[in-house]
A and B are shown apart, each in its own frame.
Chain A
Amino acid sequence: MQALYSQLLIGLINGSFYALLSLGLSLIFGLLNIVNFAHGAFFMLGAFAAPLLLEHLGIGYWGSLLIVPPVLALGGMVLQRIVLRPLQELDHLYGLLATFGFALIVQGLMQIGFGSAGLPYAIPSALQGGQNLGFMLLPNYRGFVILVSLAVCASVYLLVERTRLGALLRAATENAERLSSFGINVPRLVTLSYGLGVGLAALAGLLAAPMLQVRPLMGADLMIVVFAVVVIGGMGSILGSIVTGYSLGVIEGLTRYFYPEASNTILFVLMALVLAVRPNGLFGRREA
Chain B
Amino acid sequence: MTDRARASSGLEIQGLHAFYGQSHVLRGVDLSVKPGQLVAILGRNGAGKSTLIKSIMGLIKKCSGQIRLGDVDLLGRPADQIARMGLAWVPEDRGIFASLTVAENLRLPPILASDAPDEAALFALFPALHERLNTPGTRLSGGEQQMLALARMLRTGARTLLLDEPTEGLAPLIVAQIGEIIAQLKRSGYTLLLVEQNLQWIAPLADHLYVLEQGRIVDECASEDFEGRLPSLIAHLGL
Contact = CB atoms under 8 A, between A and B. Distances in A.
Chains A and B share a contact (CB less than 8 Å): yes
Interface of A: 164, 167-168, 170-171, 173-175, 177-186
Contact of B100 (A171, A180, A181, A184): A171
A254 B25 CA distance: 61
B80 A171 contact: no
B104 interface: yes
* Range class of the B interface residue count: 20 to 34
B78 A180 contact: yes
Nearest to B101: A167
A183 B84 contact: yes
Contacts of B110: 182-184
28 contacts: A164-B107, A167-B104, A167-B107, A168-B108, A170-B97, A171-B100, A173-B99, A174-B98, A174-B99, A179-B108, A180-B80, A181-B58, A181-B59, A181-B80, A181-B89, A182-B80, A182-B83, A182-B108, A182-B109, A182-B110, A182-B153, A183-B80, A183-B84, A184-B80, A184-B83, A184-B109, A184-B110, A186-B80
Contacts of A175: 95, 97
Contact of A181 (B83, B98, B99, B107): B83
B156 interface: yes
Nearest to A164: B107
Nearest to B158: A183
Contacts of A173: 99
A248 B153 CA distance: 44
Nearest to A179: B108
A177 B59 contact: yes
A175 B96 CA distance: 10
A150 B57 CA distance: 43
Contact of A178 (B78, B82, B91, B107): B91
A180 B79 contact: yes
Interface string B71-87: 00000001110111000
B112 interface: yes
B100 A183 contact: no
Nearest to B90: A181
- The listed residue with most B CB atoms (<10 A of its CB), out of A171, A177, A183, is A183
A78 to B, nearest CB: 21
Contacts of A170: 97, 99-100
Contacts of B95: 175, 178
- The listed residue with most B CB atoms (<10 A of its CB), out of A170, A177, A181, A186, is A181
A181 B156 CA distance: 12
A184 B107 CA distance: 12
A183 B83 contact: yes
